[in-house]
Chain A
Amino acid sequence: MGSLTIGAKYKTTLKDPGTPGILRMNDDKFTFTPNDPRSAMKLNVEFRSIKGHKFNKVDGNKPALLNLSKDSDKGGGYMFEFDNVGNRDLCRDFVARVLGKHQGMPPRPTMPPEISVPSAGMEQLSAAEVERRVKLLREDSELQKLHKKFVLGNILQESEFWATRKNLLDDVANKASKQKPGFKTAMSDVRPSADGRTNKVTFNLTPEMIHQIFAEKPAVRRAFLDFVPKKMTDLEFWRKYCRAEYLLRTKNTAAAAAEAAEDEELAVFLKNDDILVKEAKLKIKQVDPTLDMEADAGDDYIHLPDHGILRDGSKETVDNDSEFARRTLSQELNRHAAVVLEGIASDVELTDAKSVAEALARSKKEPPSTSAVDDTSHERLLKVARMTEIEDLQAPRSLPYAPLCIKDPREYFDSQQANALRSLGASNDGRKSRNCSLSIEEAFHHLTDQISSIKVNKSNCTVIQSDMAVKVLNELNEGISRSRRLNLKNPQEGLLGRVPQHTRDELMDHWTAIQELLRHFWSSYPITSTVLYNKVQRVKDAMTQIYQKLQAIKESAQPDVRHEISRLVKPMTQALDAAFSHDLEQQQKSAKAGNKSNGF
């Protein structure tokens, strides 16, 4: 595996500019030597103490980072920054390999699954992949057993083993959540703080708040994009915005009107948000058309005396006449809620107001205005049709369903064996059918006779004699008490019971192993490459070994159960025989066809 030496910066936190130095890694440990010999940031860490590693997605000018975490629960670890992604990936792959090996190593008995990432493997495994595999192995002891037997026994390659289990891996992968933090549900209020002495009002805006303002007020966002580099600076823009906010808050309509007249940029903030208005109009079109919104408008109590919402100590009133229509608290609440629900568009970083505004503008492309009038009305009609539920036409309410499932494969094994055993001692229960072949007419005639005899003697009073009833009852009771005595959950075991437990387990193990091998065997046909050829050879060898083991079990069995065991083993050997004969056939064929057959 060797070692790796690379230049990197060691960072204690994400924000830390980092200490430049040299990172050296080998199979057991990694060391970091800072370029500045006075620095105390020297590291010498054994890989044994590293539990996992993480790396970031690199795009643009962001640094390539690698984080080696000590304990996934506690989150302590070592963070390195690299000059470029290539270096980082080199390092990452190295770490992945070393970690994979370490976690597979037995020195720590707390890690049961043994996994080795093939050093010669062509595939480069991401750490996440390795982790997923380790987890699967840890959870499924049977899988682990197979893995141990074949991969560590060098019969199958790691990749071959997992290739047939892609769905398992995918399942795990899909379950990982990709949730991102969204907006805060609390409304962040841009609140002025006034110090008592001067007549100055201070607003405090954080990047987060700016992000939210942009999201909630598209007009402000648009204004920002229009004005900022050309007409005014960032700071100026926000000053104007805050001034407008202040005017709105103090409800100084007159002053607001006056100022708006003077300053057209300021007026933008005071006016109603036209983008929102447009959006609202579109939304209203999408509302359930059976809902009569105009009827509800009369229910508005806000304008009545003694009604309304208290905000900042005073009642909110709606002044419809003013040009600068006031946004009411409920409107703001609604808008905020909508934005929170929409969530943060991906790839938006809270770094700089400009990029935030651009990203938001991109994600909020104006809805296509191509929708012609007749188109919308048609859509509306469709919607009406969809919303009006006609009871008779609804699908029947769903009935209770049990999900279909495949039962434990082990049960199938047991029961198949039990079946084989039973057919051995196939009891001839005195019911012999008179083996006469009748023509169709004769048969039906006989049945019709029987039915007419039913009609004639309807009053055959007792269908069953007492002694027969007792006999049947005893027979059933016996069966029940037998199963009770054995206290078996699984009736099959009653038949398998005579076979010693360890033999049974051994056979079961062989059975699962054979199935795995056969799957690989058959799936490598037709043999088109040397890799497949080699694989088939390896698999065949393993099968031969198992075959011999099965024979040995059969021969070493106690005489009283030998026959039973041979019955148990039979389907396995049959399946193996089929594979061997197929192999032979193929060999003969290719020998006949000469070298050109499969191209190798």
Chain B
Amino acid sequence: MSSAHSKLYSDDVSLVVIVVDTNPFFWAAAALPFADFFANLVHFVNSLLLLNHLNRVVVIAAGVSSCSYIFDSSDASAAGGVGVTATFDKASRKVEEFIAQDARATAGNGSVVSGNAASLLSGALSLALCYIQRIFRSGTRHPQPRILCLQGSPDGPEQYVAVMNSIFSAQRSMVPIDSCIVGTQDSAFLQQASYITGGVYLKPQELNGLFQYLAVVFATDLHSRTFLRLPKTLGVDFRASCFCHKKTIDMGYVCSVCLSIFCKNQKKCSTCGSEFSRVMPDLNSMPDQSK
């Protein structure tokens, strides 16, 4: 491990990729107004940049139909936190642009049902991981990366496969995914993400104190985490979504070849094309005990 990480800074230098949920349906009904939330976010980003001059922060917005980078601290001038103010003006402008674009995309999409659409978590996670891979592959030394998801809207079961793939690739490249839930519901996706990648999952009790949660728990760098006790999740929802109807299920059928999950008995695996019917005329694969 140590040899493989010779390119990492030894200390607490971090790269934090923050995935921000900009789901309009959620924010329209949220207890915490988006404006306040954004102020919290700005403070948090600034405090990360304050901690170490080599720290880098990237913010990615996850909308209903699209996602995009809205802030990258390395775009700001290299020396210290100088010019961050201007950058944040730019960032808020970028958020605005992004939301307008997302609105257009959503309106054109048509498939989004009003009032109940999930944000594109899978896309945002993929963007984050791509960014991190780019950092890994460039330059001689790089900061220790981690991802923080600030999610409010409920999970979109239709993203199950994509999200799980992102989670596993994060685990494989040793990038912890922290999750802070600003919505009302626990997110099974993020619970699993944090559990599998060794990140922190937290659902703050007091949303008005959001910054304090962020500063106390999520600002902690990976170096310090080795000797700190951080809040732990009680019980992770390990339920999976079926591949056929994207429903979250307790019990289902698993393809014995590719491990795809189905809620109903299928004649043929839609993922890998294995035919079940030939081998066994009736109820063929074993039900998964919904681990």
Are chains A and B touching directly in their complex (CB below 8 angstroms)?
yes
A residues in contact with B29, CB < 8 Å? 433-436, 438
A429-B205, A440-B114, A463-B43 as given contacts; A451 in contact with B34, CB under 8 Å: yes
Q: A475 within 8 Å of B by Cβ?
A: yes
* Docked pose: A396 CA to B136 CA in angstroms: 11
A418-B234, A450-B27 as given contacts; A444 in contact with B212, CB under 8 Å: no
- Segment 20-65 of B: residues with Cβ below 8 Å from A: 22, 24-25, 27-31, 33-36, 38-40, 43
Judge whether B99 and A447 touch: CB under 8 Å.
yes
Judge whether A400 and B5 touch: CB under 8 Å.
yes
A residues in contact with B112, CB < 8 Å? 440
Q: A176 within 8 Å of B by Cβ?
A: no
Judge whether B39 and A463 touch: CB under 8 Å.
yes
Interface digits, A482-517 against B, CB 8 Å rule (1 contact, 0 not)?
Answer: 011000000110110000000000000000000100
Q: Is the interface of A mostly helix, strand, loop or mixed?
A: helix
- Segment 410-463 of A: residues with Cβ below 8 Å from B: 412, 415-419, 421-422, 429, 431-444, 446-448, 450-455, 460, 463
- Measured CB to CB, the nearest residue on chain A to B1 is A400
Q: A401 within 8 Å of B by Cβ?
A: yes
Q: A207 within 8 Å of B by Cβ?
A: no
* Docked pose: A480 CA to B204 CA in angstroms: 14
* Docked pose: A302 CA to B183 CA in angstroms: 83
A residues in contact with B250, CB < 8 Å? 571, 574
Q: A76 within 8 Å of B by Cβ?
A: no
A443-B25, A444-B99 as given contacts; A468 in contact with B206, CB under 8 Å: yes
Q: What are 7 residue pairs bridging A and B, where the CB atoms are less than 8 Å apart in the complex?
A: A415-B235, A431-B207, A441-B107, A447-B34, A455-B89, A475-B205, A495-B235
* Docked pose: A534 CA to B223 CA in angstroms: 59
Q: A518 within 8 Å of B by Cβ?
A: yes
Q: How large is the interface on A (under 10, 10 to 19, 20 to 34, 35 or more residues)?
A: 35 or more
* Docked pose: A134 CA to B103 CA in angstroms: 65
- Segment 82-129 of A: residues with Cβ below 8 Å from B: none
Judge whether A494 and B212 touch: CB under 8 Å.
no
Q: B278 within 8 Å of A by Cβ?
A: no
B residues in contact with A444, CB < 8 Å? 24, 99, 102-103, 106
Judge whether A473 and B212 touch: CB under 8 Å.
yes
Q: A409 within 8 Å of B by Cβ?
A: yes
Best-buried of A409, A419, A452, A491 by chain B (most CB within 10 Å): A419
A400-B4, A443-B25, A574-B251 as given contacts; A463 in contact with B173, CB under 8 Å: no
A453-B35, A454-B38, A472-B206 as given contacts; A419 in contact with B25, CB under 8 Å: no
Q: A364 within 8 Å of B by Cβ?
A: no
Nearest CB of B to A250, in Å: 56
Q: B271 within 8 Å of A by Cβ?
A: no
Judge whether B236 and A523 touch: CB under 8 Å.
no
Q: B82 within 8 Å of A by Cβ?
A: no
Q: A387 within 8 Å of B by Cβ?
A: no
A472-B212, A571-B289 as given contacts; A404 in contact with B35, CB under 8 Å: no
B residues in contact with A463, CB < 8 Å? 36, 39-40, 43, 210-211
Judge whether A451 and B173 touch: CB under 8 Å.
no
Best-buried of B5, B33, B34, B137 by chain A (most CB within 10 Å): B34
Q: B208 within 8 Å of A by Cβ?
A: yes
* Docked pose: A460 CA to B205 CA in angstroms: 23
Q: B139 within 8 Å of A by Cβ?
A: no
* Docked pose: A434 CA to B95 CA in angstroms: 24
* Chain B residues within CB distance 8 Å of chain A: 1, 4-5, 22, 24-25, 27-31, 33-36, 38-40, 43, 89, 92, 95-96, 99-100, 102-103, 106-107, 112, 114-116, 133, 136-137, 168, 171-174, 183-184, 204-213, 216-217, 229-238, 250-251, 280-287, 289-291
Judge whether B251 and A464 touch: CB under 8 Å.
no
* Chain A residues within CB distance 8 Å of chain B: 396, 399-404, 409, 412, 415-419, 421-422, 429, 431-444, 446-448, 450-455, 460, 463-464, 468-469, 471-473, 475-476, 479-480, 483-484, 491-492, 494-495, 515, 518-519, 522-523, 525-526, 571, 574-575, 578, 582, 586
* Docked pose: A257 CA to B271 CA in angstroms: 77
B residues in contact with A399, CB < 8 Å? 133, 136-137, 173
Judge whether A419 and B236 touch: CB under 8 Å.
yes
B residues in contact with A439, CB < 8 Å? 114-115
Nearest CB of B to A136, in Å: 23
* Docked pose: A494 CA to B89 CA in angstroms: 46
* Docked pose: A476 CA to B232 CA in angstroms: 11
Judge whether B172 and A468 touch: CB under 8 Å.
no
Nearest CB of B to A8, in Å: 48
Judge whether B33 and A401 touch: CB under 8 Å.
no
Judge whether A455 and B238 touch: CB under 8 Å.
no
Q: Which one of A419, A438, A519 lies within 8 Å of B28 (CB-CB)?
A: A438
Judge whether B106 and A455 touch: CB under 8 Å.
no
Q: Which one of B33, B174, B216, B217 lies within 8 Å of A400 (CB-CB)?
A: B174
Judge whether B291 and A412 touch: CB under 8 Å.
yes
* Docked pose: A574 CA to B249 CA in angstroms: 13
Known: A404-B168, A412-B238. 7 other contacts (CB 8 A): A399-B137, A401-B172, A415-B236, A435-B29, A442-B28, A471-B206, A492-B235
B residues in contact with A519, CB < 8 Å? 286
* Docked pose: A522 CA to B212 CA in angstroms: 52
* Docked pose: A402 CA to B171 CA in angstroms: 7
Nearest CB of A to B170, in Å: 10
* Docked pose: A399 CA to B1 CA in angstroms: 11
Judge whether B229 and A483 touch: CB under 8 Å.
yes
A404-B171, A432-B184 as given contacts; A526 in contact with B229, CB under 8 Å: no
* Docked pose: A441 CA to B1 CA in angstroms: 51
Nearest CB of B to A583, in Å: 11
